Amino acid sequence: MARGWGKDAEDVEQEAEERARARAAPKLDDSPEARARRERAETLRLSRSRTLEQLERSTNRAHREMLRRSLRALEAELETLDDGDAE
């Protein structure tokens, strides 16, 4: 066989590992409701991250308090979504 035309052992091993991981990964519920819940949770996580960054940079006391309230609301909604996934 000409050089460069075959898969080397490392590539074959890596592909086998990827297939094994894919089989071992838990199957996600793919219903529209479950997908919407996952998307909402991701949106909340991103908002939480952005709010934390703003809180770290903010120096205004009133703004910091507003960000803390927002953070608590985001975390509460995330917890509610996580509790809904456990059912």
What does the pLDDT look like over 38-72, one tens digit per residue?
999 999 999 999 999 999 999 999 999 999 999 99
71 closest CA partner among 52, 43, 86, 46: 52
CA triplet 73, 66, 75: central angle to 5 degrees?
Answer: 20
Q: Are 78 and 44 in contact (CB under 8 A)?
A: yes
Residue 86's pLDDT band (cuts 50, 70, 90): low
- Residues 6 or more apart whose Cβ sits within 8 Å of residue 64: 55, 58
Q: What is the pLDDT of residue 7?
A: 60
Give the whole-angstrom CA distance, residue 30 versus residue 18. Answer: 22
What does the pLDDT look like over 15-42, one tens digit per residue?
888 887 777 766 677 888 988 999 999 9
Token pair 């035309």 is at which residue? 5
Residues 76-84 have a mean pLDDT of: 87
| DSSP percent split of the chain into helix, strand, coil, nearest 5 | 80, 0, 20
Q: What is the pLDDT of residue 1?
A: 47
